[in-house]
Structure 1
Amino acid sequence: MKYRFSVLDIFRGLFASFVVLFHMAFFTNTPVINNPIVENSDVFVDFFFVLSGFVITYRYQLMATTEEFGTFMKKRFFRIYPLHFVMLFVTLLMELDKEYMSHYIHVNKLDNPNNNVLTFFTSLFLVNSIKLFNISDVSWNIPSWSISAEVISYIVFGLVMITIARLSLQRYKSIIYLLTALVALGLLAFITGSFQINYSFNYGFLRGLIGFFTGAFCYMIFSKTVSSLSHINPLLFTFAEIIIVFAIFISIYWGETLKYYGFVYEIIFLLAIYIFSFEKGKLSSILNSSTLLHRVGTYSYSIYLTHAVLLSIFNIVFIRILKFSPEDYSYLFILNLILIYYCSQWTYKNIEIKFKDGFSVFKTAKSSL
């Protein structure tokens, strides 16, 4: 059967919006934004990894050859790289323009040591989630480290799928996915000496692997149980949906403690994705009825990759030039989110979709040679 998982797309959009608020909190001074829920919302990045593993495994569960692996990577490249490339160069232009702007307004980090030639190329080639010498923090378009982790997860996933096919290990897929996640978690714990997984520029690729293969394992559970559980009373799904949403926000609220045991979030997100993948409960019905939430889910990748630049521009205009105060973000955040939404709508239609469709053009042109 074919599934759309539209509610999970909605959650992707909602949680991308919370990540926006997380980064916005560095500019603000209002309890509307500066509260434990928002300030721990960076862990929603792990939801993206788990959901990505779930969806990719669903779509490419039969991948078995190097040719199929190559096609898979080309599709993913055209899906995610063009917008990353554009935003990297937009960030570069902003960095180059800082000196000129500093004559008129105050500029934070006029000479940002993290934005250098080395980190530019690690971002360009999407290896900026791997710990490298002389790199001490995230750089350039800050969210892009997770795109690096995502691409590395694709590569490992493809290699795992080919290995499974060649060794005829299909019946052990679930175990292999789970073991891959556990190995990545164990390696991260061994290197860092803790079970914290909240890493980015250094061990973000391991964080990505943990989440991605947790999601792959989640899909295997779903595929084996969807037929038998689809006929359960929707009231039970409603109850489960309410409980898991409550668990998510309680765990986020207590993030300062739970982040030291990062695998807790992997488990919670696995359960959330599994429960909402059925789309049987009342919460699923409510979410699915909203056109706006569907659009936010559709634009979620653009929201995620464009927001850091747009937050900076918004802060320059409203705080530095128009002299609003950080306290004014108690209502300015709404205007900021609207700006990000419409800019993301534009980048989705004019960059994401055009280059995504470009893969078909690329494939057709190649086959005609």
Structure 2
Amino acid sequence: MDSLRALAAIGVVGWHYASHFGAAPLPSLLAPFYRHGELLVDFFFVLSGFVLARVYWNDRRSLSFANNVRDRIARMYPLHFTTLCVVAVMQWILVNRLASQPFVYHFNDAHDFTLNLALLNRTGLERGQSFNGPSWSISTEFVVNILFLAAITLRRSTARAVLFLLFVVSLAVILRNGLVSDTLAFGISNDIFRTVVGFLCGVALYGMHAHFLPRIAIRSGFADVAAIAAACVFLAYCALGELARLSDLLVVLICFPTLIVGAIHGRVTHRVLTLAPLVYLGTVSYSIYLVHFPLQLGVHLASVAFLIRMPYDSALFLVSFIFATIALASIAYRLIEVPGKKLLRRPRTAKLAEPLASPRH
């Protein structure tokens, strides 16, 4: 799971590299991420639902709503707050000291800063994406996490009914507006409903995996084929197709769950995904997701300040940027994520589930 999260996070970096820098080096290799890498955020939501259902929906933890919310804040907030402040300072320098336009995200005022502080920056209250823009998914996932943690304090049958109703309503909104949309429904951002669909798909997948799949002997070879096929279908769709409401939804509801189950049960897939470098990248994947835009902003700020034309079209520059992102993420993980969790988490809590799973996690 960590390795899958890592690969998805790096794919999102590729998506934002192309969309923010206006360049696409190594197009034959990275075309899926350049064209529709935003769908990898939905993979995070599905994986997050799977992981959080496993961690929280049990007799030991489901009733501890306040402690569970505190755990999620401890896991998500320290790095979010830090990158928010860093981006705010750099955007201020860019606009007020260098007399340049804001980089990519323009709604960087006190109103949107307050929304970001409260993790409400993608709920429908905002005017648009702001500050550390990729954190929109941290906002929507946090809101959905709260709803999920509140629901599982109820009797299991009642909780299932509440979550099913929430899924049905969200699915209806997505079928109407599309998965990727800036519209509102009932005054709420479409991305909230998008997150609900992906997250509860992951929750349902965990329920099936825990209660039904053990009764079926899934052969490792079949699981490997299923995982590879799901990955290939996703990559081909992103590289060749145009986003469409139903197709996007099928990717989320079929491809991503198949990939997760195949990765768990496939022998070859398991060996590949447990390679130490991939596991480490998974460990710092939340940091990769949240630091890559501040690093982009820093590169842009340097180019404006020193009048340097950056070679964004260079494959070497892209590779260097990815390695720099990983290095910065490693530092952020050790100096911000880990100490932040220790500071905010409750004593003797269980291991915190990953976000973005933003991410997210």
Q: Tell me which of 171, 179, 200 is aligned to 1:213.
A: 200
**Does 2:8 match 1:22?**
no
Report whether the alignment pairs 1:32 with 2:26.
Answer: yes
Paired residue secondary structure (1:269): helix
Q: Are positions 1:169 and 2:157 aligned together?
A: yes
Among 309, 319, 339, which residue is 1:354 paired with?
339
Show the counterpart of 2:119: 126
The one-letter code of the counterpart of 1:209 is V
1:339 is displaced (CA, Å) by 0.8
CA positional deviation for 1:75 = 0.6
Residue pair 2:170, 2:193 contacting (<8 A) in 1 also: yes
Structure 1 residues without counterparts, runs of 5 or longer: 1-7, 365-369
Distance, in Å, in 2 between the alignment partners of 1:57 and 1:218 is 9
**Does the alignment pair 1:270 with 2:275?**
no
Check whether the contact 2:14–2:33 (CA below 8 A) recurs between aligned residues.
Answer: no
Q: Please list, as runs of the form range in 1=range in 2, the aligned pairs for 1:129-148 lying within 5 A after superposition.
A: 129-132=122-125, 135-148=126-139
Task: List 4+ stretches of structure 1 deviating above 6 A.
Answer: none
Asked whether the equivalents of residues 88 and 140 of structure 1 are also in contact (C-alpha less than 8 Å), the reply is yes
Question: Contact between 1:188 and 1:203, CA under 8 Å: does it hold in 2?
Answer: yes
When structure 1 is superposed on structure 2, of 242-251 and 78-87 the one drifting more is 242-251
Q: Unmatched 5+ residue regions in structure 2?
A: 349-361
> What is the aligned partner in structure 1 of residue 147 from structure 2?
156
Q: Is the 8 A contact 1:196 1:261 kept in 2?
A: no
Structure 1 residues 269 and 112, CA gap change in structure 2 (3 angstroms):
closer
- Counterparts of 1:1-369 in structure 2, within 5 Å, are 8-25=1-18, 26-33=20-27, 35-62=31-58, 68-99=64-95, 101-102=97-98, 107-109=100-102, 113-132=106-125, 135-163=126-154, 165=155, 169=157, 173=160, 177-189=163-175, 193-199=176-182, 202-229=189-216, 231-259=217-245, 261-267=247-253, 268-278=255-265, 280-288=266-274, 290-317=275-302, 321-328=307-314, 330-360=315-345, 362-363=346-347
CA shift, 1:42, in A, is 0.7
Q: Is the 8 A contact 1:47 1:211 kept in 2?
A: yes
Q: Displacement of 1:139 after TM fit?
A: 0.5
State the Cα deviation string for residues 318-358 of structure 1 (Å, max 9, x = none): 68644333322x22011101111011001111111112122
TM-score (ref. length: structure 2): 0.85
* Residues 252/30 of structure 1: CA separation in 2 closer, same or farther (3 Å cut): closer
Matched pairs, number: 339
Distance in 1 separating the partners of 2:25 and 2:332 = 31
Q: Supply the distance in 2 between the matched residues of 1:286 and 1:184 (Cα, whole angstroms).
A: 35
Aligned to 1:326, what secondary structure does the other structure show? coil
Mapped partners of 2:10, 2:246: distance in 1 = 24
The letter of the residue matching 1:95 is Q
CA distance in 1, matches of 2:193, 2:83: 24
Q: CA separation of 1:265/1:199 partners in 2, compared to 1, >3 Å: closer, same or farther? A: farther
Cα 1:89/1:322, change in 2 over 3 Å: same
The Cα shift of 1:92 comes to 1.2
Q: Quick check: which has more Rg, 1 or 2?
A: 1
CA RMSD of aligned residues (A): 2.7
Tell me the alpha carbon deviations over residues 13-41 of structure 1, each in whole angstroms, 9 at most, x when there is no partner.
11111111111113143442573442210
- Tell me which amino acid in the other structure corresponds to 1:338: F
Instruction: Tell me, in whole angstroms, the C-alpha distance in 2 between the residues paired with 1:79 and 1:257.
Output: 32
**Partner AA of 2:102 in structure 1:** K
Query: Once the 2 structures are TM-superposed, how far is the Cα of residue 155 of structure 1 from its aligned partner?
Result: 1.1
User: What is the Cα deviation at residue 194 of structure 1?
Assistant: 3.0
Deviation, 1:293, is 0.9
For the 8 Å contact 1:63–1:161, the answer to whether it is kept is no
